[in-house]
A and B are shown apart, each in its own frame.
Chain A
Amino acid sequence: MSDGVVQILVAVAFAAVAAGLAIRLRLGLGREIVVAAVRAVVQLALVGAVIAAVFRFPALSVAFVAAMVVASALTAGSRLRGLRRPRLGAAVAIAPPALVATGVLVLTGAFDATPRAIVPTAGILLGGAMAAATLTGRRMLEGVRDELDAIETRLALGDDVRTALAPVLRTAVVTGLVPAIDQTRSVGLVTLPGTFVGLVLGGASPAEAARTQLVVLLALLLVELVAALLMAEAVSRAATAPGERVVPPPPDGRPRRG
């Protein structure tokens, strides 16, 4: 048997044992584990084929990155009900910081201008921006609803909307940045991040892998901060009504006047 086949058989065996254990213990998770594993097989096979095509025809990388932007906006948007156009808001928060950072990394020569470098870098930065934007947006939507009394107290004392929302915004951005900061702080101690592991498994030297990982991690700090701020701004605007008033976005996203 070839190495590849052995690898896949071992991986499938792990999932099978997990499913068997879950069924045996009646956790009600057996089906979910099987479905998740099958999805992973299909999605990774597809993505492998697509990336192979992208490496052969570099122009396709533009389409591939565009698809990643759309997917991240759809994923984040589905968790941001309450915004009038959640997917557009998510795309505006996620894509600019991630794509500009990718461009800077390529233009400065930190990464090669090849699909092999651009596609995964854009993917990691888009993923980080998506996570930060989603967390920030959700926390801010909850904050505007839960802390409406304090917000209106500030308005009644003579604040403008921006000032009255500032504490909620700050909390939301901090929440959105926690994973990025923790990931950066604990790198190598708690987890070995994907870029490092992938490069080492692929044959790169540990020093080379560490350098590349460092670039990605530190770039993510700024990308995620900007994504969080853009998303907080989108929620602020959605919650602001004329005449220095705050109207919390309704959970179903339909506009409401107050």
Chain B
Amino acid sequence: MEPRSAVGLTARDVRLRRDGRLVLDGARLTLLPGTVTALVAPSGAGKSTLLRCLNRLTRADSGTVRLAGRDVATIDPRELRRRVALVVQTPTMLPGTVAENVAYALPRATPGDVEAALRAADLPPAFADRDAAGLSGGERARVAVARALARAPEVLLLDEPTAALDADSAAVIGRTLRRLAEGGLAVCLAVHDLPFARGVADRVVGLDDRELPV
């Protein structure tokens, strides 16, 4: 019997078959508060699918995901997705300004809240009034992080956050993630780029939650 972690997020034996193909075969993952975990596996190995199972955008065939000790299947999906925020590889900006994106579905968010979320993602407050449709790839990635942070999540999942970025933008994202983890957030990035993962993460693991040999 596995000891149940009362903090952070754990995934155990997540299995998913799609169109006759085994996409996830008993995947495991442990994400702890204050820690950056890099999930490293080749493209197509099921990293994105595992992240989607963590916030229930995809339903696994079997396995258990627990948030702070509680099975996520028993948490209202809307609450779960605010607590376990997901930033996908090419984030979609919703129509409107950056501020409208950050405050989306947060009716009580004030301009101050938006500014705080932008700062946390290393974006200047002046960004708030930009049209989200006109942002570059790197800016989108950071606005997507700000948008996730505005929900005050416990866990931040990022799928290939630097895939489309140049080295400088990737370094900025890396520093942002480190700082967020130092503030107590459980951060997980799914990447195929091992050197980047080593530079940013406290733990570098595969889809079986085992640390990769250095």
Residues of A in contact with B (beta carbons under 8 Å apart): 149-150, 152-160, 163, 167, 241-245, 257-258
Contacts and interface: CB of A to CB of B under 8 A. Distances in A.
A157 B56 contact: no
A149 B151 CA distance: 19
Contact of B59 (A156, A163, A245): A245
A158 B56 CA distance: 12
B150 to A, nearest CB: 9
Interface stretch (B76-84, B122-130, B167-175, B188-196): B76-84
Contacts, number: 56
7 contacts: A153-B88, A154-B105, A158-B81, A158-B151, A244-B77, A257-B59, A258-B58
Contacts of B59: 241-243, 245, 257-258
Interface string B40-79: 0000000000000001111100000000000000000111
Contacts of A153: 88, 91-92, 94
B151 A155 contact: no
B23 to A, nearest CB: 12
Contacts of A163: 105
Contacts of B88: 149, 152-153, 156
B105 A156 contact: no
Contact of B151 (A152, A157, A160): A157
A38 to B, nearest CB: 46
Nearest to B147: A157
B67 to A, nearest CB: 15
B141 interface: no
Nearest to A167: B95
Nearest to B90: A149
Contact of A155 (B57, B90, B91, B147): B57
B88 to A, nearest CB: 8
B85 interface: yes
Contacts of B77: 155, 243-245
Nearest to B73: A243
B85 A156 contact: yes
B184 to A, nearest CB: 21
Contacts of A257: 59
A152 B56 CA distance: 11
A257 B16 CA distance: 11
Contact of A157 (B90, B95, B105): B105
Contacts of B39: none
Given A156-B85, A158-B151, A159-B105, A150 B94 contact: yes
Given A156-B85, A159-B78, 7 more contacts: A149-B88, A156-B57, A157-B82, A157-B147, A158-B78, A158-B81, A244-B78
Contacts of A149: 88, 90, 92
Contacts of A160: 78
Contacts of B55: 156
A155 B58 contact: no
